[in-house]
Amino acid sequence: MNPRQFLNPWVLFGAAVLLTAAALHNDYYLTLINFIGIHTLLVVGLNLLMGYAGQISLGHAAFFGLGAYTSGILTATYGVDPWLAMLAGMLVCGLTAFLIGVPALKLRGYYLAMATLGFGIILYIVFNEAESWTGGPSGLTGIPDLSLFGFKLDTPKRLFLLIWPVLGGIMALSANLVDSRTGRALRALHEGEAAAQSLGVNTSRLKLMIFVWSALYASLAGSLYAHTLNFIAAASFGFMFSIKLVTMVVLGGMASIWGSFLGAAVLTVLPEMLTMFHDYEVIIFGVILMVVMIFLPRGLVRGIMDLWEFRRYKKEGGIIG
Amino acid sequence: MELASLLQYLISGLTNGAIYALIALGFVIIYHATTIINFAQGEMVMLGALCAISIYHHYPSLPVAFVGGVVLVTIVGILFERLALRPVRDPNPLTLIIITVGGAVFLKGVAMILWGKEAYSLPSFSGDTPFHLGGATLLPQNLWVMGLTALVLLALESFFRLTLTGKAMRACAYNPRAARLVGISQSRMVLLSFALAAALGAGAGILIAPLTLGVYDMGTMVGLKGFCAAILGGLGSSFGGVLGGLILGVAESLATGLISSGYRDAVAFFILLLVLFIRPQGLIRGGS
Amino acid sequence: MAFHAKAEKYLGEPLCLGALVVILFTMPILELQDISLAFGGLQALDKVSFAVGAGTVQAVIGPNGAGKTTLFNLITGFLSPQAGKVVFQDQEIQGRPPHQVAQMGIARTFQLVQLFDHMTVLENVMVGRHRLSRAGLLAGALRLPWTRGEEKSIKERALEELAFVGLGDRAQQPAATLPLGLKRLLEIARALAAEPTLLLLDEPASGLDAVETERLQEMILALRDRGLTILLVEHDMGLTMEVADQIAVLNYGQLIATGTPREVQRNEEVIAAYLGTDWQT
């Protein structure tokens, strides 16, 4: 391996995960890092939909909740094997996304945003009201720990060793995806739907596929979340959490897998580190959303990369873009 | 369902419907001037209610509180347009959605800091002695809401049809380029539309505050319902928006009676999804 | 270029009766039959019929608002005619969605260039290969072994098309950083990557300087020599007269003339419609 290959982000990522596992023993920090992982999983999925395909979802927390509740209810109430429940969650989520997606993705822009927002709020109301199933506002307790090869994943360290390799795998899948035929079609759909169609891209099918795909990520994240906390309550899956996810995408940058990680990490750590942040959290999200979109509409990381790249080519060729 | 309770649901439905109609008008006006759907519209309702409540707290006169609340929120609407939307360089829907959502969240956060999380009340405009109407009770505030909404609607229509500025705004909506050619400033009209929509939202918030209390997080729900009303009306005419609001209010109120109150809000969004999925152009065709 | 000379070039041998028969009676690859479309009260196209012979360059001309771009949108599925048929290779395609039309082998460019701005020049052309490749979402995400071969051939073919239009050295820069002239060429390369049977060019010369227009002209003729059928909407009459085998003239949604460039130039109705226009021949 030559030295440059060590700078490959994937190698660095793997090394960081191993190092953390070996050196970090503080349960608080490990738990925090696990939440970063779960959030990154959600944000990568949302970014595929929003940043790459250009389709907004203001109700992504609903899929997260659907995954969490399917896992939670099946394991805590019915004693189903957690891994099986996780699969069931993905099935439920995928199916829901499909059924909602068929009519919703015919809508554009503002209408799609409103439809996903409405859908998110309906599910949130159901999470709250269907108390006999979900425990309502007071929550669902007694969700068992996951276990793998006979090991109970009951400590933050053990969960870390599940969540982060899984996340690494999902991020690799996503990076492959965006660099594949389908990924190019997604980006093409975002930047010019008519042009993409004129080249044979079935844009409505593609939108539906990526919507379902990103719902699957959210479902997986939801299941992991339920087994990490052993407890879930409706308040975690409301409108504000959907907005928080959008903020993570915007902060990290549209159409950027690593940016998703950054956005999720910053907005997961900040509220924990700064206690004053808690009261101002909502204001800060609002400011981030507005300021970043006004000045760098493709998000922070991607926006800065664009500026650099455009400048480079303008300098080299003396071209006016 | 017996007649008396049906009447009761109708009364509360029409009252809420009138509020939704006012908010829907805000959506329609901004949409006409800019084709933007302003996700922060609901927050203007919340701000209107809370501002009026605070003013009333310091200076207990309802007319002063009403006018003060509307003026303050109108200023917020103007600032929002100037500071957050005017500087956007690449005005595509995705960007504008995120910015107006950001604006909504920001205003909500500010309200939480200023007013805290508790709910405040505003006294009714003319007492709480109910009228009895065929077994149902009708509060004076119900009448205020419906009456003032009707008045505002009339005033708006005459503004758009009779005054020069109103005509200019309509011209801008139909044909921005031609409007510019005859010397109408598009940017002024956009600003005016945001101001007007904010004022309408604030008015709605102040009218409803005596019935439902004012609280920092009321904006999202009420804003979405206003949007739902606007969509029902086809986003085309103010008349459609008002009709959409009344239909939504009554449907929601009846559903509350039939199902359960916990799912009340879900009904509105269910209707919203249904309309968006089946008839996105609205129940009432958007005419002139 | 005279029609005779062109026919010679096309066949690579002196003109004879047989060649004339071949040229004038080639099977039409695209046929428009009584196409009509109105927007509100405006009759954008009124019973327009003409056929495009396989392997020819057919131009559609007419004053602004004559319905040329509407015609393109009808053929490529972005609009549906209210009456009439569009027949491509013996199949009726009117009313089919754009991606299906594209998958049958019709590619187009747009009057206002529509590139994927934030993708690289190369990636833009690679999207053109979409209809001819098959890696789906899962196969792509898992990077299955067979998809690597496909990716490689997509890339190679895209690079070939870039080289053909002269953009080979700019493969890695974002499409938005190209000047307008090169953007038009990139759009053509992207369409070519789809290996269309029929290529629709919507005002490819607008915004090009004289040198670039010259290159475009050579390119169109080279493409026809490759066997492509080309349908061209163009305002640059010099270019149109040089490259077109047949010209259809639209005016206010009506077809007022068809024929060879020379015939069309002499047509009185056409001259009347273009009164005051410099033909630049």
* Interchain CB contact of C174 with A (< 8 Å): yes
pLDDT digits (tens, 9 = 90+) for A224-258: 999 999 999 999 999 999 999 999 999 988 889 99
pLDDT class for B128, splitting at 50, 70, 90? confident
Any residues with CB less than 8 A from the CB of C124 and at least 6 apart, and which? C115, C116, C175, C186, C189, C190
Mean pLDDT, to the nearest integer, of B183-205? Answer: 91
Give the model's pLDDT for residue B148.
92
Provide the number of structural domains found in chain A.
Answer: 1
Q: Residues C156-190: pLDDT tens digits?
A: 999 999 999 999 999 999 999 999 999 999 999 99
Instruction: Decide if C118 and A173 are in contact by the 8 Å CB cutoff.
Output: no
B156: helix, strand or coil: helix
All partners of chain C with 3 or more CB pairs under 8 angstroms: A
Residue B154 belongs to what H/E stretch?
A: helix B140-162
Q: Where are the domains of chain C?
A: 3-273
Q: Is residue A122's pLDDT more than 50? A: yes
A114: exposed, middle or buried (Cβ count in 10 Å: 0-12, 13-18, 19+): buried
Chain A closest CA to C194's CA: distance in Å? Answer: 7
The domain in which residue A201 lies consists of: 3-317
State yes or no: chains C and B have 3 or more CB pairs below 8 A.
no
DSSP state of C105: T
| Average pLDDT across chain C, whole number | 88
Enumerate the β-bridge partners of residue A175: none
With CB atoms and an 8 Å threshold, state whether A198 touches C154.
no
| Whether C264 contacts chain A with CB within 8 A | no
Phi, psi of A49 (to 5 degrees): -75, -50
Residue A320: the pLDDT is 39
Do residue C98 and residue A192 have CB atoms under 8 angstroms apart?
A: no
Which one of B172-176, B237-241, B250-254 scores highest in mean pLDDT? B250-254
Identify the CATH number of the domain in which residue A162 sits: 1.10.3470
Residue of B99, B101, B276 lying closest to A243 (CB–CB):
B101
Out of 3.40.50.300, 3.40.50.2020, 2.60.40.180, 3.40.50.720, which CATH number does the structure's domain C3-273 have? 3.40.50.300
What confidence score (pLDDT) does residue A255 get? Answer: 87
As a whole-number percent, the residues of chain A with pLDDT over 70 amount to 95
Please report the ipTM that was assigned to this predicted complex.
0.89
Q: Give me the pLDDT at residue C227, please.
A: 92
Pairs across A and C, CB distance < 8 A: 127
Best of B105, B115, B222 to mutate (most A CBs within 10 Å, chain A):
B105
Pairing mode of beta strands B131-133, B136-138: antiparallel
pLDDT (0 to 100) of residue C3: 45
Enumerate domains of chain B plus CATH numbers. 3-278 (1.10.3470)
pLDDT band (50, 70, 90) for residue C276: low
Nearest to A122 among B107, B110, B269 (CB): B269
Distance CA C113, CA A69 (A): 48
In this prediction, residue A120 carries a pLDDT of: 95
Would you state the pLDDT for residue C159?
97
Q: Is the pLDDT of residue B286 over 70?
A: no
Q: Is the pLDDT of residue A121 over 70?
A: yes
Are the Cβ atoms of C147 and A180 closer than 8 angstroms? Answer: yes
Q: What percent of chain C has pLDDT over 90?
A: 74
CA gap A232, A139 in Å, rounded? 5
- Asked if C139 and A181 touch (Cβ cutoff 8 Å), the reply is no
Mutate to test the interface with A, among B30, B86, B96, B101 (most CBs of A within 10 A): B101
Q: Which of residues 174-213 of A touch C (CB under 8 A)?
A: 174, 176-177, 180-185, 187-188, 191-192, 194-203, 209-210, 213
What's the whole-number mean pLDDT along residues B96-109? 94
Per-residue pLDDT for A96 more than 90?
yes
The helix-helix angle for C121-128 and A181-191 (nearest 10°) equals 110
